[in-house]
A and B are shown apart, each in its own frame.
Chain A
Amino acid sequence: MSSKTKSKLEVTAIYLILAIVAVIIFYPLLWTIGMSLNQGTSLYSSSIIPDNFSLEHYKWLFSPQSDYLLWYKNSLIVALANAIGSVVLTAFVAYAFSRFKFVGRKNGLYIFLLLQMFPVMMAMVALYIFLNMIGLLDSLTGLILIYLGGQIPFNAWLVKGYFDTIPKELDEAAKIDGAGPIRIFWSILLPLAKPILAVVALFNFMAPLFDFLLPSIVISSEENYTLALGLYNFINDQFANNFTRFAAGSVLIAVPIATIYLFLQRFLISGLASGGTKG
């Protein structure tokens, strides 16, 4: 076999593998979309290519009987607050760890990273009682505060890794020109660290949208539900019965998120790789 045919065979094999993978990726996604367009609520009589094409589930989600829009709003509030808050908090923590000497600097972050690997389930019991004591149980504020506190170690570690790659000579030059620490932070480090801060913002915007466990424990009344919680409840009670409705609700959340992700993918990866590999 000549090397040319061999190469052609190889390329064909590569495309074949990629095609199989693509089918496996698309199948469940298309299936969900198909389900959401079926009439009726039964999974059994539904198929991936609907016999009776209908938008009834989408219409229902936007009708006054459903709380879907409210959940969407709640999720967006939590996600936005978490994204903004986490950038502010972690940027400051990372700045301290990257540029200053203080007690606990050397191992502080690592200790928190390790402590955080203890499973959260028992923390849930403690947080539940604690939130109850300070009156933040079943509120979005309580949920946001827990997300904010929990994200710090990992993200501060990422951002610190990025800050470390910014030459210290820049700070020193600014210091000679009379800039204080806040000024250096604001006009030197922050502009240069925009890519990693964007990654932190995006991750912390997405995390609450995807999370199911914490809201299921903290939130109990339906008007405070986040999307994950609300959608789960569509199928929680009678699995087969509301699946098509769940599918419609899922499509409406998955499409915008996937779009954002795909747009920002290159950005995401480069930020993550440069911060995470240099910590």
Chain B
Amino acid sequence: MDVAPSDEQRRLVESFTALFGDASPPSRVRAAEPLGFDPALWETVRSAGIVAMAVGEADGGWGAEPLDLALVAEVQGRFLAPVPIVEAQVAARLLARLRTPRAASALAAALAGERTVTMAVHPSREGVARLVPAGAVADDVLVMDGGRLLLVPSGGDHGQVENLGAMPLADLRLGPDAEVLADGPGAEAAYETALDEFLLLTAAAQVGIAARAVEIGVGYVKQRRAFGVPIGSFQSIGHALADSATAVDGARLLTYEAAWAHGTEPGRFAELAAMAFAFATETAREATYRSLHFHGGYGFTDEYDIQLYYRRARAWAAVCLEPRAAYRRAADHRYSAVRTAAPMEEQWTSA
């Protein structure tokens, strides 16, 4: 057991912390609302290799480990960087996993920065992929449609669904230009792994949100005075923040354990990724709620940054799964021998 990042991982975190610190301060996050996308920042991180790092060298990438991707996602969460990093990384890894010529050419276009590719995290229904993450800004979307994995050009005409988290979500109608990339059990398995990875990296981003929310709250309650003392001296406040700080550390350890298991104990990866998503999401919800609440009335004004975190902690999770469904997903992997074979559509609880 060694929970310290390697020197290389530390440098990775430092470089993205510097990049987002410069390019994604709260003013830029606000300016990117309501769409939730900053094209200039996306260009910057894409040229820095954010998509390439996610796929193996044989596929034209840099072959970073899931642990590295999780570290970057945590930094993204801290800064709420309005760019589809997790979406593009997981979609690229899914394309690489398919090993078909069409998938390879789509991946090449993504790596060359010609096209932004995302994936729908729920199978389509009645010809529509709903609430696709980054669907409003991507060029191509990977969609599971009745056992077939499709590559769907978005055509650029899918408007954003206005939403709580200022995410570039879109409902995407599957047109005649959708191409079948793969079908059958192989496609299902590849897509399931992509979902596990999406949950893992979202968990990491939630850790970043939660950690920053605690920092913002601690900073505020040290300065803010009421009844003649800093309000951080009240136990009702200090103890709640202590609980959140504890949960943040736990969520971070669980998330990095899941990322570590991806390569080292693959049999536990899916279970741990779902657990990490559920626990990190509950942690981020609680931390942002507490931190906002301890700001008093200022907490729910637009002017204070904590509301940006409060809204995204909920939205980034809700687009995937509610935590309770994620605990069920974890149990489905844990008890796979007695699996009920519930169809995936039922397990994923979104409309």
Whether chains A and B associate is no
